[in-house]
Amino acid sequence: MKASNPYWREKALEQMSPRLTEELDKFETEIELKKHGKLDDRVFAETRLRRGAYGQRYDNGRRHDGLKTRQLNYPCGPLTKGPETVWDAPGMLRIKIPYGGLDARQLEVLGEMAEEYSDGIAHVTTRQCIQLHFISLDDTPSIMRRLAAVGITTQEACGNSVRNVTACPYSGICSEETFDITPYAHALAYHLLGHPDCQNFGRKFKPAFSGCRDQPCGLVKMHDIGFIAAVRTVDGRPQRGFEMYVGGGLGAVPRQAKLLSEFVPAGEILPLTQAVARVFGRLGEKKNRGKARIKFLVDRLGIEEFRRLVKEERAVMEPEASWTDFLSQVEAQSEQPLRPGHAEIAIADDPAFAAWQKSNLYQQKQDGYVAVIISLPLGDITADQLRSLADIARKYTRETVRSTVEQNIILRWVSKADVAAVYQELKAAELVIPGAGTIVDVTSCPGTDTCKLGISSSRGLAAQLRQRLAERSAQLDRSIENLVIKVSGCFNSCGGHHVADLGFYGVSRTINKHSVPHFQVILGGQWTQNAGAYGLPMGAIPSKRIPEVVDRLTSAYLAEQQPGESFQDYVQRVGKAAIKSKIQDLSSLPTYEENRFYYSDWGDPREFTKEDIGIGECAGEVVSAFTFDLTSAERMLFEAQLKLERNEFQPAADQAFEAMVTATKGLLRLKVPNVGRDLPALVRQFREIYFDTELFFDPFAKGKFGQYFLDAAADRDRRDTNETAHRQIEEASLFVEACHSCESRMSEQQAEQKTAGTSAS
């Protein structure tokens, strides 16, 4: 924990939006409440996850050191930050980067965070986010404030929420795109952030945008919701819109997204997504997390019924200004170059430059400009490199930087006249690794390095493959060079193994009573056409023999391919049995006594074990919306008391009233599908559903506590004194308690009815 933490709030305040200031103050209060034992473990876990503060491997306080599993005795003692999650154990912070867009100052601040709080590395993820590892939870509010000061949020980066909105990193500069989808991705990301309609999901919800159908960059079809740019003609004029998909996803049970609508006008994508969110929130699975993604709901209902429900929901939604406000700014948001374009790139007599130029430049649709792809091994970049990149971005472009799902960074709008100079400056920063987008550019999830669910070392394998392939890259045939390799540490597919030509995911096998790290081999996935098809498993091979698998399969493809045949088509033509026969012998191993090499994983000398696998937090904690609202109400009451202590009477009373409103919303959610924000409507609904029916009435106090809320709502113009603020807090506390009691009574009644029903039948 940093000694400077208490001082960052004031320092960052001027640069932060009021909304984020409030949001982070809330989080800090929740941390204090948890430390004082006033917040439930599951609720706190979900609340920190929704702020991007994720668990990390060994945070249950146990680790197998190669000999046996030992306790990690942290000084915090029994204090936890979630079920089975020790407070002091290092964690991960996921930072949302909508559509991968970054500017120079943001790069610098990400570097500062990596150095001061993490291990010096910022990690680009397979969904364009940035992750910092080995973070102390106590430092997270400061990090979040420093990021917020430069317009970056971690809000809803994890947990059961709308995750980072990803998009094609070439949008706006791609010659094949229908139009630049950037402003639409931006609008959706910030419209849904913290939106009340997106707070009651059973699992995460991942959106993606693509500017075209055929290229892979947007990967729309493997997302929960996806948008592909489309234009139609209306009254002789072109109208922008999107093909809208829903219900895709990878994971253990991959699904291709279904077409929800062939054309959604641009002004309609925000409300329609909101309608999808409402249907998902209302009907999606909440208890069985293995069936809680929207893909299962779409499966269960069928796309026709799902579409009908979305339309029905859309028809009753109250309009929101942000649905269309952004449309007038679309043109203004288009990027411009800093320097004049140039017809040609100067030829340099340098083989290294030539190799880099061949793979790491992308020809923009705008004449005279290229995008420079900065290849990051395993997505890792140092703070010094981030600063150098910021300098280059300022000097040669208008800070037009994007992160990619291939875990690289792209510098857009580089004039061809400047390519040689940019190369030299990137070279000084050791950022000119060639082979971007080729077989060398292996991507990987964190795997056993830091992930609680990792089975095998995906990063270890990816590093090994990368190194071996780089050594041979000059000799690789073009058909091999263009293959895509992706590695995941487990079946959850964070590395995207399903959509690679050669995909691998971590599994374990027991051989002669010893656990051995393996990878399941997945062949023939389709990276193009927005992840158009998923590969199929060929069997598990020991981790240390995967490089041989790559050698054999690429050699076989080279020798046996027909003219113009893709790897995917080759696998299909030759057949699974024939392909499997080429690698089957690799599954046998020498005994443990003969050669222990195979019994440990890449980059980790410990004897392999599955004992370190923990409980993942990918699914978040299933906490009901009621519990969330009531927890927020209690936090507000705590804050109100602090304000009263500081003699801030009016703010204290207002905060206490807000706690009542929040608790009311929670209670209403038990009866009403979509709870709005309009106070008179909330009061009316509370009166009709709970008060007039006496459902809220306490057996002893009757309607007294409910009346507190109705009276307070009717008297909002009151000027509060110490005495009235004090009373308001007391009444609010009693009201919040009464909400809890009401929910308990209703649950008991439901249980009794269920039991009675079961007995009767």
What is the contact surface with other proteins in residues (CB under 8 A)? 1-4, 7-8, 11, 57-58, 63, 65-67, 72-75, 88-90, 108, 112, 115-116, 119-121, 133-134, 136, 377-378, 380-382, 384, 387, 430, 433, 449, 459-460, 463, 466-467, 603-606
Identify which of 442, 447, 441, 471 has the alpha carbon closest to the alpha carbon of residue 459. 447
**Helices of type H across 442-561:** 458-472, 478-481, 528-531, 546-560
> What 3-state class would DSSP assign to 152?
coil
Nearer Cβ to other proteins, position 319 or 605? Answer: 605
Identify which of 521, 598, 583, 525 has the alpha carbon closest to the alpha carbon of residue 552. 583
What minimum distance in Å lies between the beta carbon of 614 and other proteins? 13
- The span from the CA of 243 to the CA of 234, in Å, is 16
What minimum distance in Å lies between the beta carbon of 613 and other proteins? 15
Quick one: DSSP state of residue 186? H
Nearer Cβ to other proteins, position 1 or 679? Answer: 1
> What 3-state class would DSSP assign to 212?
coil
Quick one: DSSP state of residue 526? B
Strand partners, 469: none
Nearer Cβ to other proteins, position 610 or 684? Answer: 610
Q: Are strands 369-374 and 485-488 parallel, antiparallel or unpaired?
A: unpaired
Nearer Cβ to other proteins, position 404 or 664? Answer: 404
Nearer Cβ to other proteins, position 120 or 539? Answer: 120
Nearer Cβ to other proteins, position 74 or 263? Answer: 74
What minimum distance in Å lies between the beta carbon of 151 and other proteins? 18
- The span from the CA of 385 to the CA of 107, in Å, is 9
What minimum distance in Å lies between the beta carbon of 66 and other proteins? 6
What minimum distance in Å lies between the beta carbon of 217 and other proteins? 25
Nearer Cβ to other proteins, position 388 or 492? Answer: 388
Phi and psi of 144, rounded to 5°? -60, -40
Tokens 């996806």 — which residue?
226
Nearer Cβ to other proteins, position 76 or 710? Answer: 76
Nearer Cβ to other proteins, position 299 or 380? Answer: 380
Strand partners, 411: 372, 401
Nearer Cβ to other proteins, position 112 or 156? Answer: 112
What minimum distance in Å lies between the beta carbon of 597 and other proteins? 13
Q: Strands, DSSP E only, in 664-759?
A: none
Q: Give the 3-state secondary structure of 413-425.
A: EEEHHHHHHHHHH
Tokens of 696: 């809220």
In contact, 382 and 320? CB cutoff 8 Å: no
Please report which helix (H) or strand (E) contains residue 47, including its range: helix 41-49
Tokens 């062939």 — which residue?
262
* DSSP codes, 282-310: HHS-SS-GGG-SHHHHHHHH-HHHHHHHH
What minimum distance in Å lies between the beta carbon of 57 and other proteins? 7
Q: What does the chain come to in residues?
A: 761
- The span from the CA of 200 to the CA of 170, in Å, is 33
What minimum distance in Å lies between the beta carbon of 123 and other proteins? 10
Query: Which residues, 6+ apart, have CB-to-CB distance to 119 below 8 Å?
Result: 133, 134
What minimum distance in Å lies between the beta carbon of 422 and other proteins? 18
What minimum distance in Å lies between the beta carbon of 143 and other proteins? 12
What minimum distance in Å lies between the beta carbon of 491 and other proteins? 23
Q: Strands, DSSP E only, in 313-408?
A: 361-363, 369-374, 380-382, 401-403
- The span from the CA of 467 to the CA of 442, in Å, is 10
In contact, 246 and 276? CB cutoff 8 Å: yes
Nearer Cβ to other proteins, position 565 or 604? Answer: 604
Nearer Cβ to other proteins, position 435 or 532? Answer: 435
What minimum distance in Å lies between the beta carbon of 305 and other proteins? 48
